[in-house]
Amino acid sequence: MRLPRDLSGEDLARALAVFGYGITRQTGSHMRLTTQESGEHHVTIPRHGSLRVGTVAAVLAEVGKHFGLPREDILQRVFP
Q: Are 21 and 74 in contact (CB under 8 A)?
A: no
Q: What is the model's pLDDT at position 59?
A: 96
Q: What is the model's pLDDT at position 52?
A: 94
Number of Cβ within 10 Å of residue 71's Cβ equals 14
> Over the stretch 1-53, which tens digit does the pLDDT of each residue have?
788 888 999 999 999 999 999 999 999 999 999 999 999 999 999 999 899 99
Q: What is the model's pLDDT at position 39?
A: 93
Share of the chain above pLDDT 70, in %: 100
Q: pTM value? A: 0.90
First to last CA, the chain: 11
Domains parsed from the chain with CATH numbers: 9-78 (3.30.920.30)
